[in-house]
Amino acid sequence: MQLTLNDHSIQLSAPVTLAALIRQHYPDNNGIAVAVNQQVVNKSLWEQTELQPEDRISLFTVVAGG
């Protein structure tokens, strides 16, 4: 199935959870927030969130700012 991860298209051969996808791309998830289809997903729900075809996943992190 095809998903979008921060505007990049990715192909997955098997169903995957949000937690697994994040682990694969960002093993250190300290200071990260995630939205699926523009809805923020609480960290406690990452494991049980099964990603669906065409889902748009956005990862955010903290940067310096005023």
The minimum distance between CB 23 and another protein, in angstroms, equals 14
Q: Which of residues 3-62 bind another protein (CB under 8 A)?
A: 5-6, 8, 25-26, 30-35, 38, 40-43, 58-62
The alpha carbon of 19 is separated from its chain's Cα centroid by a whole number of angstroms, namely: 7
Going by C-alpha positions, the residue among 32, 61, 38, 37 that lies closest to residue 51 is 37
Q: Using CB under 8 A, which of 11, 14, 53, 65 touches another protein?
A: 65
Binding interface with another protein (CB under 8 A) = 5-6, 8, 25-26, 30-35, 38, 40-43, 58-66
